[in-house]
């Protein structure tokens, strides 16, 4: 990690298409969530998904310790939620203050405004440079807004 990744490499990597998600977790009585684009399916059966979480994120150690997380899928109407959970850290603020949410099998927050959710337990994790890849088995999931399209991450559109 020396901060000298060739700009051409980042430019090419930015051609990888990602959605926008809010990854939530619960450790005892504490809940937190962060926005993530690096979320992927990994196995049909059992249903596995991966999330890449930066090692400096407050959520990182919470997920390591609790072994659970939920993936909330955002739609085009949820950009404000993507900014809310993605531009500040739970180290300093309670990002769930005043926000209503549901909880399913793991207790990780399920946003009422999400278009779909997956509730997961961590089955393994792997160090990946400045991130950790958590592999989660999806214990339960559901679609909250039938027919709603997922938000595709586009830097220019997201921040405008
Ligand atoms: C659109 C968007 C996508 C993001 N994707 C990721 C990601 O895939 N992995 C990651 O570790 N951080 C990602 N982040 C950054 C975290 O959401 C951000 O650092 C957040 O403040 C971490 O919160 P926490 O410290 O409470 O865990 C993303 C942020 C935004 C706005």
Q: What is the pLDDT of residue 29?
A: 94
User: Which domains are assigned to the chain?
Assistant: 18-144 (2.30.110.10)
Instruction: Record the pTM.
Output: 0.97
134 lines ligand 1 (CB under 6 A): no
Peptide bond into 46 cis (omega under 30): yes
Q: What is the pLDDT of residue 160?
A: 82
The alpha carbon of 20 and the centre of ligand 1 are apart by a number of angstroms equal to: 10
Q: What is the pLDDT of residue 2?
A: 63
- Best residue among 25, 35, 136, 156 to mutate for probing ligand 1's pocket (most ligand atoms within 8 Å of CB) is 35
64 lines ligand 1 (CB under 6 A): no
The alpha carbon of 86 and the centre of ligand 1 are apart by a number of angstroms equal to: 5
Structure tokens at 106: 């793991």
Of 132, 133, 131, 104, the residue nearest 120 (C-alpha): 104
Q: What does the pLDDT profile of the chain (160 residues) look like in tens digits?
A: 567 899 999 999 999 999 999 999 999 999 999 999 999 999 999 999 999 999 999 999 999 999 999 999 999 999 999 999 999 999 989 999 999 999 999 999 999 999 999 999 999 999 999 999 999 999 999 999 999 999 999 988 899 8
């Amino acid at each position: 990690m020396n901060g000298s990744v060739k700009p051409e490499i980042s430019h090419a990597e930015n051609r990888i298409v990602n959605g926008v998600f809010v990854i939530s977790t619960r450790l005892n009585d504490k809940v937190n969530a962060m926005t993530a684009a690096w979320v992927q399916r990994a196995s049909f059966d059992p249903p596995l998904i991966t999330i890449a979480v930066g090692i400096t994120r407050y959520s990182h150690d919470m997920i390591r310790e609790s072994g659970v997380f939920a993936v909330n899928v955002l739609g085009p109407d949820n950009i404000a939620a993507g900014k809310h959970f993605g531009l500040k850290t739970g180290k300093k603020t309670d990002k769930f203050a005043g926000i209503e949410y549901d909880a399913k099998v793991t207790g990780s927050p399920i946003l009422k405004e999400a278009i779909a959710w997956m509730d997961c337990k961590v089955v393994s994790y792997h160090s990946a440079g400045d991130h950790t890849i958590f592999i989660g088995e999806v214990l339960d999931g559901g679609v909250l807004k039938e027919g709603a399209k997922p938000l595709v991450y586009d830097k220019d559109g997201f921040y405008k």
